[in-house]
Amino acid sequence: ALRLAGGRSRCEGRVEIEQAGVWGTGCDDAWDQPDADVGGRQLRCGWAMRVHSGASFGRGSGPILRDEVGCEGHEEHLWDCPAVLEHDCSHKEDAGVVCSEHQEWQLSGGRDGCAGRVEVFFRGTWSTVCDNTWYDLEANVLCRTLGCGELLRRVSFNHTLPGRMLYQCGSLQPSLAHCQWTYNKSAPCHQSRAAGVVCNGTGH
């Protein structure tokens, strides 16, 4: 099995592999775009947007199960690629990746990082969020995800970025990525404005 750990979603983090019931990590020697692309595709996380080395998602534990991974990019699984099982690595060299299906958010144009227009980084680009289904529930999920406390109020802005995202949360989820989302479908976003929030916390 394969997973990403230490990131903010299941599509970002340190590469961890399970072998014979034990989870271990991969070493960053020769860890590059084709390797990360294969891992991303295997996890249904799209393609690799950022390839990380030097344990940037924290040091893992357990054995180091792959070194000098040499994917060409077309392989179905990470373990279909040639790799060295004998290694000279430590966990400070754990490999990581940020994939295109990972979502991260920021608020822009407000007084600080806890107020402003909602912008989501997804598939390599920043997009705005349509306010058609942007209610207190969705806004509260975002305030909490950003560590900005609770929602004070919802505000509207203009769409000025190329992409549009639409969220619908049925309940208080850990992040908007756990809610239902639709990307770049014009019909539901028609005549929408860009969602914004003011949270009661203060941003850095």
Q: Do 66 and 20 have their domain in common?
A: yes
Mean pLDDT, residues 49-75: 95
3-state secondary structure of 62: coil
Q: Is residue 204 part of a domain?
A: no
CATH number of the domain enclosing 13: 3.10.250.10
Q: Do 39 and 64 have their domain in common?
A: yes
Q: Do 86 and 160 have their domain in common?
A: no
Comparing CA positions, the residue from 17, 96, 19, 33 lying closest to residue 59 is 96
Token representation of residue 123: 């598939």
Q: Say how far apart CA 10 and CA 73 lie, in whole Å.
A: 21
**Taking every pair of C-alpha atoms in the chain, what is the biggest distance, in angstroms?**
58
Domain stops at, among 99, 133, 152? 99
Residue 130 burial (10 A CB sphere; 0-12, 13-18, 19+): buried
Per residue in 121-174, pLDDT (tens digit) is 999 899 999 999 999 999 999 999 999 999 999 999 999 999 999 999 999 998
Whole-angstrom CA distances from 151 to 6, 138, 176, 202 are 27, 10, 14, 12
126: left (phi over 0), alpha (psi -120 to 50) or beta: beta
Domain stops at, among 71, 99, 127? 99
Q: Answer for the pair 169, 141: CB distance below 8 angstroms, yes or no.
A: yes
Enclosing domain of residue 29: 2-99
Q: Is residue 57 part of a domain?
A: yes
Check pLDDT > 80 for residue 58.
yes
Q: Do 91 and 109 have their domain in common?
A: no
Q: Do 147 and 84 have their domain in common?
A: no
Check pLDDT > 60 for residue 204.
no
Q: Do 109 and 177 have their domain in common?
A: yes
Q: Do 107 and 163 have their domain in common?
A: yes
Q: Do 114 and 191 have their domain in common?
A: yes
Per residue in 82-119, pLDDT (tens digit) is 998 888 899 999 999 999 999 999 999 998 999 999 99
- Confidence band, pLDDT 50/70/90 cuts, at residue 187: confident
What integer best gives the mean pLDDT of the chain? 94
Q: What percent of the chain has pLDDT over 70?
A: 99
* Total domains present in the chain: 2
Comparing CA positions, the residue from 66, 147, 145, 161 lying closest to residue 109 is 161
- Confidence band, pLDDT 50/70/90 cuts, at residue 203: low
Per residue in 11-44, pLDDT (tens digit) is 999 999 999 999 999 999 999 999 999 999 999 9
